[in-house]
Structure 1
Amino acid sequence: MYPLGLLPLLQAWIPDYAAVKLSIALPGIILLALLWSLAENQEEDDTTPTALPLSGLSTIWPFFKSRFDFLARGFQLTGRSIFQFNLLQNTVVVVSGESGRNDFFSCRGLDINEGFKVLSGAIPMLPGITSDLQARRIALIHKRLAAAQNSDRLTRLLPQILGDAERVICSWGYPGTIDPFSHMPALLFQTTVRSLSCHEIADDAALVARLRKLYDRLDSSTTPASVLLPWFPSPSMLSKLYASKQVYDIVNGAINARVQSGVSRDDTLQMLVDHGDDKLVIVGFIMGLLVAGARSTGTTASWMTTCLGGHPEWKHKARAEVRALLSDCSAGNVASSSLKEQLAAIPLEAWEDHTPVLDKIIRETLRLAQPHTAMRRNVGPETYINGMRIPSGAYVVYPFSDVHLNSTLYPDPWRFDPDRSDRVAPYEYVGWGGGKTVCLGQRLAKLQLKLIAAMLLLKFDFILVDVNGRTPNPLPRPNWNDTLTCKPPIGSCYLQFQSISEGKIEKDGP
C-alpha cells in the first residue's frame, strides 16, 4: 500500500481515479529495509540455491548497471548453474542451463508482470494505468494488441509505415553519415507511434520527438532507488513521475480531442474507442505499448542495419530478395516513381511468408543483440527449478545470454551469421520469448523491420565506418551490459550512405 504524502501532487497531475497514495517514508523504514536485506533467516538445505558470496548492498548497483557481467560473475563465484542473492528484501534466483531454462519457461507459477514490476521499473509510473494492473485489464490489453495486428489492420498500415519511413529517411539528407543507434530508434519510434496510437500524434513530428525525449527521460530515471524504493521520493523517482505525467497529458489530450471531435479515423485509438474501452485502458494501452514496442524494435533495427553495413554479402542478399519480391508481385509496374508506393503494393502475405533472407537476418540480430534478462515472480506455492527450491514470492531471472551466446549451441556466438541452422531443442532460441510468455507484438515488429530494411536497401547503398571513415576492424560488438539498447561505445561506428542512383560506395569487409 502506498502512503499519503504525494497524493496532492498526483491529484494536480491526473484525475482522482488515477491518483495514487504516496508519501515521504520515515528514515527508520529505510533503515529497517536495509537491515532486513542483510539478515539471513532462510533455512538452507540441499535444495536451496547457493547464495552469492557478496553483501546485500553490493549487489544492487551491478545488477541494474552491469547486469551481464554481474550475472556471469555470479555463476563464476558460486560455481553453480543456479544461485541466489538479495535485492533489499527481495530474494532473486538466477537460473541457467538446459534444465533450468526448460523449467523456467514452462513453470506456470512464474508471473512476468509481477517480475517486471519490481525488477525492471522502466515503464511510465501511473498505477492503475500502466502499472499495478489487474489480470483482467492485462488480458484486455493483450486482446486489443492482437486486434491491432490482424491482417486487415496491418494491410492498411503498410503504406502508412512506409510513408513515415520515407519522410524520416529523406530528412537525414544524403549522401551523408548517420549514427544508427540514434537515427534508427527515432525512425522506429515514429512508425510505432503510427501503428499503436493515433494520427493526431503521429502526424506531428515535433510532438513525436517530444514524446520520445520523455520516454528517454523515463529510461535515465530508472535507477536502483526508483525501482527498489518506488514509494521514496528520490530525485530519480520524482523525475520519472514528472515524465510519466507529461506522457499521460499528451496521450490523454489526443484521446479527448478525438472523442470531442466525433470524427472517426482509421487508427488504433479509434479501434479502442469503438470497442467502448474504459479511458484508463486506452491510455494505458498506448503509453505502455509505445515504450515496449519502440525500445526493443528500435534496438533490433539499429543492429540490423549495423550488421548489414558490416556484412555486404548479406546486404546484397537482402536487396536481391526485396527486388525479387517487387518483380514477383508486379509491384515494380506501379505507375509511380515513388518507392513507397511500389513497396506498398506488395501484399502483406508476401512480406510475411516470402522473405526468408530478411527472416534469417532479423532472427540472427535478435540472437546477437537483444540483451534481455527474463524476469518472473513465483506467485504460486513453492516450486522447483532444476531440483532447486523457489519459495513463494521469490523472483527468478534467466539471462538470454545463457542460450544465445552459448558456444555449444551457437559456435563463435559473437559472429553475425544468419545461415546458422535452426535449433530444434526446446527454448534454444528465445528471441521472441518462450513458453507462455512470448512477444505479443512480434507480428507488427517484424513487419516494421522488413519494410524499413526494404526501403533502405532499395534507396541507398551504405557501409559501416568508424569515426575516421574506415571499415571498423573488428566490427562493433553488442554491449550486453546496456540492457536497453546494447550500444557499442559512443562514436565507434556509423553508417555512410548515398543514393543508389548516385553510384556505389562498396568497400571490402575487414
Structure 2
Amino acid sequence: MPYSIGLYQAACAFLSAGFAVQAVVAAMVLLAIVVALPFVASQDGTDVDSDEDEDTPPTLPGCLPWLLWDIAPFFRRRYDFLNRGFRLTRAAVWQFKLMNNTVIVLSGASARRAFFYAKGFDLTEGFKMLSGALPMVRGVTSDGLHTKRIATIHKRLAAVQRNAPLTDLIPQILDDARRMLETYEHAGSFDPFEAIYSASRFLIFQTTVRSLSSTELASSPERVARLKTLYDRLDASTTPASVLMPWLPTPALLRKLWATKEIYEMVVDAIQQRERDGEVKNDTLQMLLDSGDERLTVVGFVMGLLIAGARATGTTAAWIVLFLGGHTDWQARARAEIESLLPDTTSSSSLSDALAEIPVATWESSTPVLDAIIRETLRVAQPHTAMRRNLGPDTYIDGKRIPSGAFVLYPFSDVHLDPAIYPDPWRWDPARPHSTKDLGYVGWGVGKTTCLGTRLAKIELKLVLALFLLAFDFSVQQPLPVPNWNDMLLCRPATKCTVAYTKRTQRAL
C-alpha cells in the first residue's frame, strides 16, 4: 500500500483527538515552522535583496520567502497578490520567492505566446509544486507519476471522448441529471455554490464520476456524495505550509492524507469488485481494464481526473446558471435552441429521453448559443493561473531570463479581463466577439497544453444545462454578483447567491 504507515497512524490519532490536543499540536507545528523557515530558505544561498542583472526580472519588494504571512496571499488571494506584483514592480515580467523556489510571473501578448509554446515549460511539475491539491499517493498522483504513465492517462482520456463512448455516455449523463433534478419541488431556490445540495456543481460532479470512473461508484449516491466531501476536504487542506513543506506533518497535511487514503480505497474497491464479479460493463473503468493498464495507472486516472474535471466544469456550470438567471433574454435563446433540436416524434417521451436522441455531432455543431454562453462564462468566471516549470535550458521572454528550474506563471486575467481586448471586461455578454489575435482567448488552453478533456466537459455542460433549461424557469435577484477571482476554485462571490426556480411543465423529466 503506497502510504507511510507512520503518517497514517498520526493522521488517525490527530483526527480522533479532542480540540485541545489538536490546538496544542497546531501551535507546536507553527512554532517549528517559524524556527525552521529562515534556515530552510537560506539553503539555496540566494540573497533576495541582492542586485539584479538587467536581464533578471525585478523582485517583488517586501515579500520575504521564509515568512508565511508574506507569501500566504499567493495561496489565499492570488488575483490580488499578482496584480499587486505588477503594480509594485511596474514590470510585465517579475519574480518572487516561495521558500527557495523562484517564481516568475508573466503578462502581455508576446509573453503569453512564449509561455504557451515554450518546449521546456512543464505543466505537471508546475502544477504539482504550486497547487498542492491533488491526492498524494506515491506512484499514483505524485513522485512516481512518470512520463510514460502520464502519456497513458492522456491516451485513455482521449479514448473516453471518441464518438462511440460519448454516444453511450449521453443517456447515462442525462439519467443522472434527471434523477437529481426530480428531487426538486415545484418551486424553490438554491445556492449554486453549495458543496452538496446545489443543482449545478454537485450535479456536475455526479456526471463526472459517471464519465470517468465506474458504474459501481457513479450509481451509488452515497459513494458519490462521499467522494465529493473528500475532494472538498483536499481543497480545504491546501495551505501554504502543506504546499511548500509537504514533509512537515501539519494538521492540514494529516487531513489531506486521511482524505487521500479514503479516496484511494474507494477507487481500489471498485476495481476489485469488478475483477471479483467478472461482470463486463460499458464504462470507463472497463475500458481501462481491457486496455491492460497497470493498476497504478488506472487508479491515477480516476483519482486525478475526477478532481481536475469536476472543479473547472462545476464552477463553470454554477456561474452559467447564475448568469442565465440574471439574463432572461439569453435564457430564452438557449432554451429555444435546445427545443429546436428535439425530434418531432418525442413529444410523449420524457425530457431526458428526448435529449438522449440528439446525436453527438448535433450537440457539437448545432448549438452556437450554448457555445457562446460557455465561452463567455469561462472568460469572466474561471480564475485560472497557468503554472509551468522550466525544465531547461534557460530561456528569455521579453528580454528577461527564465532560468532552468524556475516556476513560471501566467494569470488568465491578464488577457480575459484586459479592457483593451474586452471592453467593460466584467460584463457578461455572450454576443461579444472573442479576439483571435495574439492568443486573445485561452479559456481551454492553447499551444501544446490545451485541456485534454474539453470535448467531454462541453458535452457534460450542454446536457445538464439543456435538461435544466427545459424543466425550469429560474431567476437571480439583481444586481448579479461579480466573480471573485481570489477564490481560485469556485470564483465564488462574497455575498450569498440564490437562484429561484419554478417547474415549467408537467412533462416528466
TM over 0.5: yes
Query: Residues 89-112 of structure 1: CA distance to partner in whole angstroms, max 9, x if unpaired?
Result: 110000001111111111111100
2:106/2:410 contact within 8 Å kept = yes
Task: Give 1:309's aligned residue.
Answer: 325
Query: Residues 301-334 of structure 1: CA distance to partner in whole angstroms, max 9, x if unpaired?
Result: 00011000001111111011001111xxxx2412
The equivalences for 1:85-484 within 5 A come to: 85-132=96-143, 133-182=145-194, 183=198, 184-326=200-342, 331-334=343-346, 336-465=348-477, 472-473=478-479, 475-484=480-489
In structure 1, what is the Cα distance between the partners aligned to 2:474 and 2:269? 40
Structure 1 unaligned segments of length 5 or more: list them.
14-23, 466-471, 504-510
Partner letter of residue 308 of structure 2?
A
Q: Is residue 79 from structure 1 mapped to residue 87 from structure 2 by the alignment?
A: no
Moved more, 68-77 or 167-176: 167-176
The equivalences for 1:479-490 within 5 A come to: 479-490=484-495
1:43 CA displacement: 6.4
Query: Residues 332-351 of structure 1: CA distance to partner in whole angstroms, max 9, x if unpaired?
Result: 41274310100000111000
1:298 CA displacement: 0.2
2:3/2:138 contact within 8 Å kept = no
Of the three residues 23, 32, 41, the one matched with 1:34 is 41
2:63/2:71 contact within 8 Å kept = no
Partner letter of residue 214 of structure 2?
C
1:82 CA displacement: 0.8
Task: Give 1:494's aligned residue.
Answer: 498
1:59/1:86 contact within 8 Å kept = no
1:448 CA displacement: 0.6
Query: Residues 400-450 of structure 1: CA distance to partner in whole angstroms, max 9, x if unpaired?
Result: 000000000000000011111131213210000121111000100000110
CA gap of 1:88–1:9, structure 2 versus 1, over 3 A, is: closer
Partner letter of residue 488 of structure 2?
T
User: SS in structure 1 opposite 2:102?
Assistant: strand
2:484/2:492 contact within 8 Å kept = yes
1:45 CA displacement: 1.1
Structure 2 unaligned segments of length 5 or more: list them.
12-28
User: SS in structure 2 opposite 1:351?
Assistant: helix
1:409/1:428 contact within 8 Å kept = yes
Partner letter of residue 153 of structure 1?
P
1:403/1:409 contact within 8 Å kept = yes
1:154 CA displacement: 0.2
Q: Is residue 44 from structure 1 mapped to residue 52 from structure 2 by the alignment?
A: yes
2:123/2:389 contact within 8 Å kept = yes
In structure 1, what is the Cα distance between the partners aligned to 2:4 and 2:351? 53
Partner letter of residue 503 of structure 2?
S
Query: Residues 63-87 of structure 1: CA distance to partner in whole angstroms, max 9, x if unpaired?
Result: 0000000100110001111110001
Query: Residues 378-410 of structure 1: CA distance to partner in whole angstroms, max 9, x if unpaired?
Result: 001111111110011000001000000000000
* Pairs aligned (count): 478
1:11 CA displacement: 9.8
In structure 2, what is the Cα distance between the partners aligned to 1:335 and 1:316? 20
User: SS in structure 2 opposite 1:438?
Assistant: coil
Partner letter of residue 314 of structure 1?
W
Partner letter of residue 317 of structure 1?
R
1:109/1:380 contact within 8 Å kept = yes
Task: Give 1:468's aligned residue.
Answer: none
Task: Give 1:506's aligned residue.
Answer: none
2:288/2:298 contact within 8 Å kept = yes
1:127 CA displacement: 2.0
Query: Residues 477-506 of structure 1: CA distance to partner in whole angstroms, max 9, x if unpaired?
Result: 100000000001242x21111111379xxx
CA gap of 1:258–1:40, structure 2 versus 1, over 3 A, is: same
User: SS in structure 2 opposite 1:300?
Assistant: helix
In structure 2, what is the Cα distance between the partners aligned to 1:174 and 1:221? 38
1:59/1:87 contact within 8 Å kept = no
In structure 1, what is the Cα distance between the partners aligned to 2:43 and 2:419? 40
1:41 CA displacement: 8.0
Task: Give 2:61's aligned residue.
Answer: 53
In structure 2, what is the Cα distance between the partners aligned to 1:440 and 1:167? 28
Could you tell me the percent identity over the aligned residues? 54
User: SS in structure 1 opposite 2:415?
Assistant: helix
Indicate the RMSD between aligned Cα atoms, in angstroms.
Answer: 2.2
User: SS in structure 2 opposite 1:376?
Assistant: strand
1:270 CA displacement: 0.3
Partner letter of residue 53 of structure 1?
P
1:12 CA displacement: 11
TM-score (norm 1): 0.90
2:153/2:301 contact within 8 Å kept = yes
CA gap of 1:415–1:284, structure 2 versus 1, over 3 A, is: same
User: SS in structure 2 opposite 1:496?
Assistant: strand
